[in-house]
Structure 1
Amino acid sequence: MVLFVLCIKAELDGIESLSLIKNTNLCFSLRNPLSDYEVREKVVFNPSELLEQDESDREPPHHFALRWEGSKKYSTLTVLDDDGAKSALKKISKKGKKGGKGGDDEHLPRDVTPADNDNFVPVLVMECRGLEPYAFHPMGNEFKIISDGGTVFDKDVDLSEGDWGDYDEEHDASVSANEFQSKIISI
């Protein structure tokens, strides 16, 4: 089991928080960690839907599965909820994989706030077996934004071009998220 953390950053203006919506389609590019040439570009899955499994399946429940060429077993990806992420990060910390730090709170998913400008923030933890996500591709509508005035923008928040802006009519203020970037780290 390897954990991968999707981290994002953006310059927020007039925004209280930017968060990943948990029940929407996500798009990642994946590679076979045992092969330099086997990749699957722009794979889409929904982290709120587990794949159906037969009773004979030995794999734990997961959100995405694929079988690499020549492999007998499926490679799987499971998006962890907050409790699952906390537990998995604690297990890895106990195994000594985490270099000397007492806690893994820095890898727990959370919302991006204006205090985070210019810093990557973890928003999603994935447990992967036999595959490695290496790129995140925003498609639109994966994110929710709350303005400084408390207005929720959860439709048409499209960061695929790197920038998003709107107007909070209720509070007479413009809101924007600029210079969006993402990276995936392994733990």
Structure 2
Amino acid sequence: MVLFVLYMKAEFEGIGSIALRKDQNLCISVRNPLSDFETRDKVVFNPSETVEQEEGARQSPHHLSIKWEGNKKACMLECLDEKAVKTALKKKKSKDVPRDLTEDDSGNWVPILAMECRGLEPYAFHAMGDEFVVTSQGGKAFTEDVDLSEGDWADYDEENDAAVSLSEIEFKIEGIR
């Protein structure tokens, strides 16, 4: 299995933190690592729900399953929890443990999700809306209507009389071998 990490970068104004919600659907594009032309664009999965398996299946619990043309076995993607990420990264001698972004991360790439994959490679993340919780510097949590798909997001923290915004939002996925 190969480890892939989703990174996020944005410019902050009045933001204390940004967290990826693990209970919401996520959308990615994946490709067959053995073929230059086989891809699946905008595949949706939920990191808090595993794929239902047949009784006696030998596969470990996973969050996404795809079968490429000509393959006998399904390819899998599993989102890792913090403990599994640390174990996997220790073997790979990497320190990119996924975490929330903080105000100190403005403009820097930060790992937000780790995925272990067998037979597929995620290569793009597509924000759909409501995958993130944004907290202002004043502590107000924005849990609804946080849609980062347009590349910018703004709101107003009435409790603290402050504007909050994210701009120049970017995502990338990199494999760690």
TM-score range (shorter-chain normalised) is: over 0.9
User: What is aligned with 2:51?
Assistant: 51
User: What is aligned with 1:74?
Assistant: 74
Partners of 1:12 and 1:113 within 8 A in 2: no
Superposition deviation, residue 89 in structure 1: 1.0
- Report the RMSD for the aligned CA atoms in angstroms: 0.8
Equivalent residue pairs, number: 176
List, as ranges, runs of 4+ consecutive aligned residues in structure 1 with deviation greater than 6 Å.
none
Unmatched 5+ stretches in structure 1: 94-103
**Which aligned pairs between 1:25-174 and structure 2 lie closer than 5 A?**
25-93=25-93, 104-105=94-95, 107-174=96-163
Superposition deviation, residue 119 in structure 1: 1.2
1:11 is the counterpart of 2:11: yes
Superposition deviation, residue 73 in structure 1: 0.6
Superposition deviation, residue 180 in structure 1: 0.3
User: What is aligned with 1:180?
Assistant: 169
One-letter amino acid of the counterpart of residue 7, structure 1? Y
CA distance in structure 1 between the aligned counterparts of 2:91 and 2:74, rounded to whole angstroms? 24
Superposition deviation, residue 91 in structure 1: 2.4
Partners of 1:11 and 1:114 within 8 A in 2: no
What TM-score comes out, normalization by structure 2 length? 0.97
Superposition deviation, residue 114 in structure 1: 2.2
CA distance in structure 2 between the aligned counterparts of 1:51 and 1:19, rounded to whole angstroms? 24
CA distance in structure 2 between the aligned counterparts of 1:119 and 1:13, rounded to whole angstroms? 14
Superposition deviation, residue 90 in structure 1: 1.4
Residue by residue over 1:76-132, the C-alpha shift from the partner in whole angstroms, topping out at 9 and shown as x without a partner, is 000001111111111233xxxxxxxxxx33x10111122212211000000000000
